[in-house]
Amino acid sequence: MKRTHRIALLALLLALCSPVLSRADSSSLLPFRKQKPAFYLKLHYYTPTGDYLRSLTSDFNQGSITLLSHTSLGFAYRQPIFRSFYIQPEVHYGIATDWQEAALKPNFFSGLTHAFNIRQYSFFDVPLYLGLRWQPITLFAARIYAGPLMQFSLFQKQFGIVGQYSLAGGIGLDLLNFFSIDLGYRVAMNEFTFIETSSTYFLALSLKL
Tell me the CA distances in angstroms from 12 to 9, 25, 143, 179, 195, one per residue in order.
5, 21, 12, 23, 18
- Rounded average pLDDT over 4-25: 49
Predicted TM-score of the model (pTM)? 0.80
At 18-70, the pLDDT tens digits run 444 344 344 444 444 567 899 999 999 999 888 888 888 887 777 678 788 88
pLDDT grade for 157, boundaries at 50, 70 and 90: confident
Residue 170 and residue 194 in contact, taking contact as beta carbons nearer than 8 Å: no
* Range of weakest confidence among 2-6, 116-120, 170-174: 2-6
Determine the Cα–Cα distance for residues 97 and 103; give it in Å rounded to an integer.
Answer: 11
